[in-house]
Amino acid sequence: MRKAEYQALEQKIAVDDCAWVPLFEEKRVYCTSDRVANFVPHWAGYGDFYVSDVTMAEQTTTDGK
């Protein structure tokens, strides 16, 4: 009887309530320029994002060419 109650309590705490704490967090850094448009990193910081909508403007020189 007591074992079944402990198992039910373990199920509630460990699985249903998800009582877990992340041990670390990775920082992601993205570099862009004024020429890059439509770049949106993944909300969770994943590095495997799609770049199909990312565009780049043509580079112009300082003399206007």
In a domain, 3, yes or no: no
* Run of H or E residues at 4: helix 2-10
Count of structural domains within the chain: 1
Amino acid 27: pLDDT? 77
| Range(s) of the domain holding residue 48 | 23-59
Does 12 fall in a domain?
Answer: no
Residue 29 covered by a domain: yes
Q: What is the pLDDT of residue 65?
A: 57
Beta-bridge mates of residue 5: none
| Sequential pLDDT tens for the chain (65 residues) | 889 998 888 888 877 777 567 777 777 777 888 888 888 887 777 766 677 788 888 877 776 55
For residue 45, what are the contacts with CB-CB under 8 A and spacing of at least 6?
Answer: 26, 28
Give me the pLDDT at residue 15, please.
74
Q: What are phi and psi of 12, to 5 degrees?
A: -65, -45
- CA dist list (Å): 63 to 16, 19, 33, 56, 60: 65, 61, 20, 20, 8
